[in-house]
Amino acid sequence: MDLHQLRERIAQIESEVAASLTKAGSGDAVRGLDNRVLGKEGSLSALITSIKEYPPDQRGQVGKLVNEAKARVKASFEARLAELRAADAQAEASAAGAFDATLPGVAAPMGAVHPVTAVQWEVERLFERLGFTLEAGPEMESEYNNFEALNIPASHPARDMQDTFWLTNGMVLRTHTSPVQHRSMKKFGPPLRVIAPGRCFRYETIDASHENTFHQIEGLLIDRDIGLPHLIALAKMLLTEVMQREVELRVRPGYFPFVEPGLEIDMNCRICGGKGCPTCKNSGWVEVLPAGMVHPNVLRAGSIDPDEWSGFAFGLGLTRLAMMKYGIRDIRVLNSGDLRATVSPVRLGGPIVWEKSA
């Protein structure tokens, strides 16, 4: 083969490569072709191995021609591979539907409000409208504030009803939010309107309606000429507003040492509609609002003259109310990590919307 024939052979290989490349529909096909032309025994590489058949003064020329051809062919392979990759990407995009990179991303879920918190906020808003002050008390209380100041001396059998957790420093985990009654009387003096939401603790055997940790809202109103009708009217309004429907109430005498007379204000069980279920202990009624007229001893302990002032107090069972409102059968889920027991912000409605942070 002389140089002229070599040039023709190279041109022939290149045109074959060009024809095959347009037909190569995949990266693998291109790589296969690459191997047949540029591989160790490929058609172009074979031309280099024949270099020793040329006279020495032509060998440089032969090497140059073949290497230039190799570079052109290599570039054409790479161009075709790039074309194929671009086509693949486009096909993928159209298969996935129109993809618009300028659209905003999908917002992560914002979380939700615990049912007890949702009800607590609702009750707080209601009482704020009625002129009540929001107070908080400590969860660790003195024995005096939790019991003595509320007319429950050490010898009193009512202490057994509220077995609690005693701490090594002599304090107790409060068994109710009622200590805030005493604290508020000392802090504000009469007349006063206070609510105090918070956690309470009792040494309870846990079942569907009892927990060792639960939430209450304490309410206290002290003024002149306050009587039971004020209390019952407020209870009716409170429960109707929170449940967002007409609520049937049952008022029974109840005994609590810090009120006289004492009442149990119950509402009909929403879980069973009054037929009886484990949540309402098969009675059809749920105790949500123990209440009563503040006992004169409690007023005196708070430095308030019972001959001049009277008032009522209640301990709204926030946990039970949340269960009734949202149809939660078992109190235990409320302190568990089960996220199904949360309230979607959308369901809150009314004034308590979960406000989006900007």
| Interacting residues toward Zn ion by CB under 5 A | 269, 271-272, 277, 279-280
The CB-of-108 to Zn ion minimum distance in angstroms stands at 38
Tell me how far apart the alpha carbons of residues 304 and 329 are, in angstroms, rounded to a whole number.
42
The set of residues, in sequence order, having a beta carbon less than 8 Å from that of 331 and lying 6+ positions away, is: 207, 208, 209, 210, 211, 214, 319, 320, 323
Nearer to Zn ion, 152 or 269 (CB): 269
Least Å distance, CB 332 to Zn ion, is 16
Find the shortest distance in angstroms from Cβ 280 to Zn ion: 3
Q: How far apart are CA 339 and CA 334, in angstroms?
A: 9
How far apart are CB 271 and Zn ion at their closest, in Å? 4
**Contact 69/14 with Cβ under 8 angstroms?**
yes
Of the pair 230, 332, the CB lying nearest Zn ion is at: 332
Residue of 221, 152, 161, 215 lying closest to 191 (CA atoms): 221
Count how many Cα atoms sit within 13 Å of the Cα of residue 5 in the half-sphere of its side chain: 5
Q: Which is nearer to Zn ion, 171 or 333 (CB)?
A: 333
Nearer to Zn ion, 135 or 287 (CB): 287
Judge contact between 322 and 122, C-beta under 8 A.
Answer: no
Task: Enter the tokens of residue 23.
Answer: 């037909």
Closest approach of Cβ 345 to Zn ion, in Å? 28
Between residues 271 and 299, which has the closer beta carbon with respect to Zn ion?
271
Q: Report the residue number, 295 or 320, with the smaller CB distance to Zn ion.
A: 320
CA distance readout (Å), 314 to 92, 178, 231, 330, 339 = 66, 8, 9, 24, 31
Cβ closer to Zn ion: 327 or 351? 327
Q: Report the distance separating Cα 299 and Cα 281, nearest Å.
A: 35
Nearest distance from C-beta of residue 160 to Zn ion, angstroms: 27
**Smallest separation (angstroms) from Zn ion to the CB of 245:** 16
Q: Element (H or E) spanning 118, and its range?
A: helix 115-129
Range list of β-strands (E), the chain: 133-134, 140-141, 172-173, 192-201, 213-223, 249-253, 259-268, 285-294, 310-317
Q: Quote the CA–CA distance of 197 and 214 in Å, as a whole number.
A: 11
Q: Which is nearer to Zn ion, 120 or 279 (CB)?
A: 279
User: Is-contact 152 256, C-beta < 8 A?
Assistant: no
Quote the least distance from Cβ 331 to Zn ion, whole Å. Answer: 13
